[in-house]
């Protein structure tokens, strides 16, 4: 109401539309927190370690599927760690002796020139999302930490970022991000459900469903 008694509308600030990139950042951050919370719902340590490894392995497989279409982001190191990822699946399938070759693979990396703190000045052969995801899955086998599963999941979205290099806000990219978020949620729900029911590892049907 103005001083003269005539009503005038208030000037409201226009709300800025959220961009696809802003949605992506918000949704992937929420996914990161959700995956971590869900894995901690598995209370027994050994079961949680297996659940984390299963989520990490499934995320690594998905990251490889994305980067398979990006030959410029593949190298001998990523190919070697794809082989190591098969050992992770064998471990999940019941072959606990895979603990030893996976330990050697991790040790070989840690003692190699690829493990450095020289930033952009050092070799970057290891710096591929599919390699990091597979490494995280292997670490989960050996070191039992939920964050390895979360790290592997986030590599899926790093791979999408490489695929859409320079295109941060397209509808196509946002649609793919949404599909991968749903993929991760399906994997985590399947793994947590199986871990809480079977309590002695995962049967072949469960592993096949999260690997495909």
- CATH classification at residue 39: 1.20.1590
What the block records as the tokens of 205 is 């049907």
Residue 9 lies in a domain: no
Give 65 or 116, the one with higher predicted confidence: 65
pLDDT at position 203 is: 86
Of 9-18, 61-70, 186-195, least confident by mean pLDDT is: 9-18
**DSSP label at residue 19:** P
pLDDT at position 17 is: 82
Q: Which residues contact 103 (CB under 8 A, 6 or more apart)?
A: 142
Which burial class, exposed, middle or buried, applies to 11 when counting CB atoms under 10 A from its CB (0-12, 13-18, 19+)? exposed
Question: How far apart (Å, rounded) are the C-alpha atoms in residues 39 and 145?
Answer: 10
pLDDT in tens, 142-184: 998 999 999 999 999 999 999 999 788 899 999 999 999 999 9
pLDDT in tens, 25-39: 999 999 999 999 999
What the block records as the tokens of 86 is 């098969």
pLDDT at position 56 is: 98
pLDDT in tens, 39-95: 999 988 789 999 999 999 999 999 999 999 999 999 999 999 999 999 999 999 999
Residue 172 lies in a domain: yes
Q: Is the pLDDT of residue 7 over 80?
A: no
Residue 22 lies in a domain: no
Residue 19 lies in a domain: no
The total number of structural domains in the chain stands at: 1
Question: How far apart (Å, rounded) are the C-alpha atoms in residues 25 and 152?
Answer: 17
Q: Which residues contact 182 (CB under 8 A, 6 or more apart)?
A: none
Residue 71 lies in a domain: yes
Domain that holds residue 82: 29-211
Within the chain, where are the H helices? Answer: 20-40, 45-67, 76-92, 99-110, 129-143, 146-163, 171-198, 204-211
pTM: 0.88
pLDDT band at 196 (very low <50, low <70, confident <90, very high): confident
Residue 178 lies in a domain: yes
Which burial class, exposed, middle or buried, applies to 138 when counting CB atoms under 10 A from its CB (0-12, 13-18, 19+)? buried
Q: What average pLDDT score do residues 102-116 get?
A: 94
Question: How far apart (Å, rounded) are the C-alpha atoms in residues 191 and 184?
Answer: 11
Which burial class, exposed, middle or buried, applies to 80 when counting CB atoms under 10 A from its CB (0-12, 13-18, 19+)? middle
């Amino acid at each position: 109401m103005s001083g003269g008694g005539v009503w005038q509308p208030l000037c409201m600030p226009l709300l800025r539309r959220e961009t696809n990139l802003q949605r992506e950042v918000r949704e992937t951050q929420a996914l990161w927190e959700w995956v971590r919370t869900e894995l901690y719902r598995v209370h027994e340590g050994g079961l949680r370690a297996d659940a984390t490894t299963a989520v990490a392995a499934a995320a690594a497989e998905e990251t490889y599927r994305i980067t398979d279409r990006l030959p410029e982001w593949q190298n001998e190191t990523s190919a070697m760690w794809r082989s190591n990822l098969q050992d992770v699946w064998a471990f999940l399938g019941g072959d606990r002796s895979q603990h030893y070759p996976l330990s050697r693979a991790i040790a070989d990396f840690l003692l190699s020139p690829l493990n450095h703190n020289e930033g952009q000045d050092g070799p970057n052969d290891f710096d591929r999302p599919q390699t990091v995801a597979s490494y995280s899955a292997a670490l989960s086998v050996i070191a039992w930490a939920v964050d390895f599963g979360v790290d592997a999941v986030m590599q899926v979205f790093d791979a999408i970022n490489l695929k859409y290099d320079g295109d941060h806000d397209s509808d196509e990219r946002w649609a793919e991000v949404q599909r991968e978020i749903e993929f991760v949620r399906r994997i985590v729900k399947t793994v947590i459900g199986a871990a809480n029911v079977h309590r002695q590892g995962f049967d072949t049907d469960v592993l096949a469903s999260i690997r495909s």
